[in-house]
Amino acid sequence: MQWPPRHPRIDELDPLPYGTDWPDLRCISGRIDVHSLVAFFAGEQRVRGHYLEFGVGAGRSAVAAIRAHRRHNADGLARWFLFDSFEGLPALEGPDAGSRNFHQGQFAFSTEQVQTTLEQHGVWDPERVALVPGFFDRSLPAFDVARFEGLTASVVHVDVDLHSSARTVLEWVTPHLHQGTVMLFDDWNMFDASWQHGERAAAREWLAAHAGINLESFARYGFHGEAFVVHC
C-alpha cells in the first residue's frame, strides 16, 4: 500500500486532500492545493471564523477553497464572503502605473458568471456564500460588518494584483483578524517581486503602520503566491 495515498482529482479545481501524496506547491497546481494546507491549519485551530476573498476573478480559487474547507474544516468556517468589482481591475495608478502585466478592466467576470462557476462545481450555497460587488474603495466602507455576526476572519485571500487595491483591503480587514489568521497573497511575486509595487508594497506599508501585526511565512505556491500566518 502506498503511503501517503494518491488522490484522483475530479477536475482541475479539486485540491489534493492534506493526507495524500502531494506534488511541490511551487508547481502549477500549487495555487489549488495550497487551500488544503490552509484549511487543515485553520481546522486545527478550532476557531470558528469566515473566509474572506478579495479579487474573485472567475471564481476558480473560491471553488478550490470551499472544497478544501469542506474536507478539512467543515465546522470551522461559517461563511465565504467573496469581494470583487466584477468589472475587472480599476485604473492603474501610483506605483503600479505602466505595469507590463495588468491593465484596467482585466479579469472582468460578472456575478452571474461567478455564481455559474460555483454552481457547476457543486459549491454554490446561497446561505453561506456571498458575492459582494463593487470597487473596494466604495464597497468595503459600505459593507455591513454585522453580517460577520461577531466572528473574525480565519482565512483572508488577497488576489487584487495592485497596490492601491491591496492597501485598501488590508486597512479594512485589520480589525477582523485574529492570532493565526492565514493571509494568502496571490500576486506576491508580481511586479518582479519588487517591494515598491503591487501587493508587496501594500503589505510593507500596512505592516509599518500597524506595529502590533506581523506576518510569518507559511507556504509559497506557484511562482507567484505566498501565504502567511498573522501574529497580532
Q: What is the pLDDT of residue 21?
A: 83
- Condensed to tens digits (0 to 9), the pLDDT of residues 3-45 reads 778 888 999 999 999 988 877 899 989 999 999 999 999 999 9
Domain assignment of residue 4, yes or no: no
In whole angstroms, what is the distance from residue 163 CA to residue 166 CA?
5
CATH of the domain at 192: 3.40.50.150
Domain assignment of residue 199, yes or no: yes
Q: What is the pLDDT of residue 101?
A: 77
Q: Which residue range(s) make up the domain with 188?
A: 30-84+105-231
DSSP conformation letters of the chain: --SSPP---SSTT-PPPTTS----TTSTTHHHHHHHHHHHHHHHHT--EEEEEE--TTSHHHHHHHHHHHHH-TTTEEEEEEEE-SS------GGGTT-SS--TTTT---HHHHHHHHHHTT---TTTEEEEES-HHHHHHHS-GGGGTT--EEEEEE---SHHHHHHHHHHHGGG--TT-EEEETTTTHHHH-TTSHHHHHHHHHHHH-TT-EEEEEEEETTTEEEEEEE-
Q: What is the pLDDT of residue 121?
A: 98
Find where cell 485571500 sits. Answer: 157
In whole angstroms, what is the distance from residue 62 CA to residue 116 CA?
12
Q: What is the pLDDT of residue 105?
A: 66
Q: For the chain, which ranges sit under pLDDT 70? A: 1, 105
Domain assignment of residue 204, yes or no: yes
User: pTM (2 decimals)?
Assistant: 0.94
Domain assignment of residue 77, yes or no: yes
Q: How many domains does the chain have?
A: 1
Domain assignment of residue 195, yes or no: yes
Domain assignment of residue 1, yes or no: no
Domain assignment of residue 135, yes or no: yes
Domain assignment of residue 90, yes or no: no
Q: What is the pLDDT of residue 100?
A: 79
All three cell numbers of 160, joined, read 487584487
Q: What is the pLDDT of residue 95?
A: 81
- Condensed to tens digits (0 to 9), the pLDDT of residues 128-152 reads 999 999 999 999 999 999 999 999 9
All three cell numbers of 26, joined, read 511551487
In whole angstroms, what is the distance from residue 79 CA to residue 66 CA?
10
Residue pair 163/198 in contact (Cβ under 8 Å)? The answer is yes
